């Protein structure tokens, strides 16, 4: 078979948005909208992260100069089918010809869903995976993104995650290759006001996405390289961003890492942490970043143990190199970032040499971050011991390199209860 001959070089890459990195968001968005021919933009915005900050007047000034009218839809919490349907009605009433998302992952996912549903009939719930009965067409309004947190990487993904919390709740995606945004701007100034708790949770979400994509069964040489690049910058920047929100270099590093996490998950998929986080988010009002951040350390330790039992030297080598890169101890990366040589499979295979050292570093670092960042336990959001078995049974491993059985998933949940 042709694919057998070329081996790991058999992969595809989805389209990515045009990217402006480290530039003022207001001018970049106005320029991109103007180039697209937009005259009326509907902005899905976080209230505290953008709408009620000095960044909003700066955007309005730039849009006015470009002859573009603007209307806002305020995003409070993670998007639901009901919130999307209501904002779609407001968007249509305004006559928007484009959509922009400015805020955290919830605002960006909202913008993505609005751009898609602006050209569809019916409720967005009709088009959600495993919930609705209709397939999205992939058509949408032009879509522009400016994240104010560094976490979900939604500015570089082709899905919008919506949830309905409670009995019969769910957390599901509106997904189509056509929903990849047209343009994204990474402006570290927008994230300067993000509080430490949100910075930590969103940052650990990005780390989770990078790590899960890197060890994914669907990983490719391209996603390996991008995931390692993202892990390197997250390792340099996350603690600094949590300690000092005004550190723009750290904010820029995390914005870049989160963007790369979105690119990687779009092409390689995710793993067991996200398999559990999705189920938890449909039952209890636990923010996605918090769910991922609180589960990451325990899940990684359990997965490494399973891989050791299976003797999966290649996957263990990847975890080892990830630990060295994330901690800044890999000779393959210089102080300015970028791979300087060496294999993305790690130095030494199996549980020995560089792999053993790297895994130990990785597990210690993730455990320390969980404690130092004060990641909340699941019980803080109403999760109780009686439901852990059912949550574990409903969870999946997605594209993890080995499948943790329900009993192991339940043990992880119990550890973080």
Domains of the chain: 18-189 (3.40.50.1970), 197-415 (1.20.1090.10)
CA distance 76 to 332: 42
Q: Give the model confidence (pLDDT) of 355-385 as tens digits.
A: 999 999 999 999 999 999 999 999 999 999 9
pTM: 0.93
> Which pLDDT score, from 0 to 100, does residue 10 have?
83
pLDDT at 345: 41
Q: Is the pLDDT of residue 94 over 50?
A: yes
Of 339 and 169, more confident: 169
pLDDT attached to residue 12 = 87
pLDDT of residue 361: 97
What whole-number percentage of the chain has pLDDT above 90? 89
Q: How confident is the model at residue 144 (pLDDT cuts 50, 70, 90)?
A: very high
Q: What is the pLDDT of residues 262-282, one digit of tens each?
A: 999 999 999 999 999 999 999
Which among 252, 108, 253 is positioned nearest to 188, based on CA atoms? Answer: 252
Percent of the chain predicted with pLDDT > 70: 93
Mind listing the pLDDT tens digit for each residue in 60-77? 999 999 999 999 999 998
**How high is the pLDDT of residue 342?**
39
Mean pLDDT lowest among 11-15, 326-330, 375-379: 11-15
**Is pLDDT above 60 for 286?**
yes
Position 197 pLDDT exceeds 80: yes
Residue 166 structure tokens: 């409670």
Q: Provide mean pLDDT across the span 5-32.
A: 89
Q: Give the relative orientation of helices 105-117 and 81-94 as an angle to the nearest 10 degrees.
A: 60
Evaluate if residue 351 carries a pLDDT over 90.
Answer: no
CA distance 388 to 80: 24
Cα–Cα dist 71/44, whole Å: 9
Half-sphere exposure of 284 (CA within 13 A, CB side): 17
Mean pLDDT of 8-18: 86
Q: How confident is the model over 301-329, as a mean pLDDT?
A: 97
Which of 105-114, 201-210, 332-341, 395-404 bottoms out in mean pLDDT, i.e. has the lowest?
Answer: 332-341
Mean pLDDT of all residues in the chain?
93
Say if residues 165 and 285 touch (Cβ distance below 8 Å): yes
Which tens digit of pLDDT belongs to each residue from 103-113?
A: 999 999 999 99
Q: Is the pLDDT assigned to residue 343 strictly greater than 50?
A: no
């Amino acid at each position: 078979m042709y694919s057998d001959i070329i081996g790991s070089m058999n992969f595809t890459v989805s389209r990515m948005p045009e990217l402006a990195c480290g530039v003022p968001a207001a001018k970049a968005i106005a320029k991109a909208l103007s180039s697209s021919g937009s005259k009326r933009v509907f902005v899905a915005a976080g209230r505290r992260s953008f709408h009620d900050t000095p960044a909003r007047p700066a955007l309005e000034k730039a849009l006015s100069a470009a002859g573009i009218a603007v209307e806002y839809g305020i995003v409070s919490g993670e998007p639901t089918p009901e919130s999307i349907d209501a904002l779609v009605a407001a968007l249509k009433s305004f006559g928007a010809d484009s959509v922009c998302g400015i805020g955290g992952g919830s605002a960006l996912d909202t913008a993505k869903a609005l751009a898609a549903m602006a050209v569809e009939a019916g409720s967005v719930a009709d088009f959600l995976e495993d919930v609705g009965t209709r397939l999205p067409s992939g058509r949408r309004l032009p879509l522009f993104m400016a994240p104010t947190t560094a976490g979900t990487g939604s500015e570089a993904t082709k899905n919008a995650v919506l949830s309905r919390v409670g009995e019969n709740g769910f957390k599901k995606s509106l997904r189509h290759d056509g929903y990849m945004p047209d343009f994204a701007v990474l402006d570290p100034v927008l994230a300067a006001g993000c509080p430490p708790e949100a910075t930590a949770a969103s940052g650990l979400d990005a780390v989770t996405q990078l790590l899960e994509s890197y060890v994914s069964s669907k990983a490719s040489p391209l996603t390996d390289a991008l995931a390692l690049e993202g892990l390197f910058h997250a390792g340099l920047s996350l603690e600094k961003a949590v300690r000092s929100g005004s550190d723009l270099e750290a904010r820029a590093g995390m914005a870049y890492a989160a963007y790369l996490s979105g690119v990687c998950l779009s092409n390689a998929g995710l793993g067991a942490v996200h398999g559990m986080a999705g189920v938890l988010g449909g039952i209890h009002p636990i923010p996605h970043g918090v769910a991922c951040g609180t589960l990451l350390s325990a899940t990684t330790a359990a997965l490494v143990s399973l891989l050791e039992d299976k003797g999966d030297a290649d996957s263990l080598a990847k975890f080892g190199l990830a630990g060295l890169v994330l901690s800044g101890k890999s000779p393959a990366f210089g102080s300015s970032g970028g791979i300087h040589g060496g294999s993305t499979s790690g130095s030494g295979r199996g549980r020995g040499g560089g792999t053993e050292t790297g895994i130990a570093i990785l597990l210690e670092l993730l455990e320390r971050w969980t404690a130092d960042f004060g990641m909340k336990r699941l019980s803080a959001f109403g999760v109780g011991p009686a439901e852990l078995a059912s949550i574990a049974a409903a969870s999946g491993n997605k594209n993890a390199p080995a499948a943790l059985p329900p009993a192991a998933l339940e043990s992880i949940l119990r550890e973080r209860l």
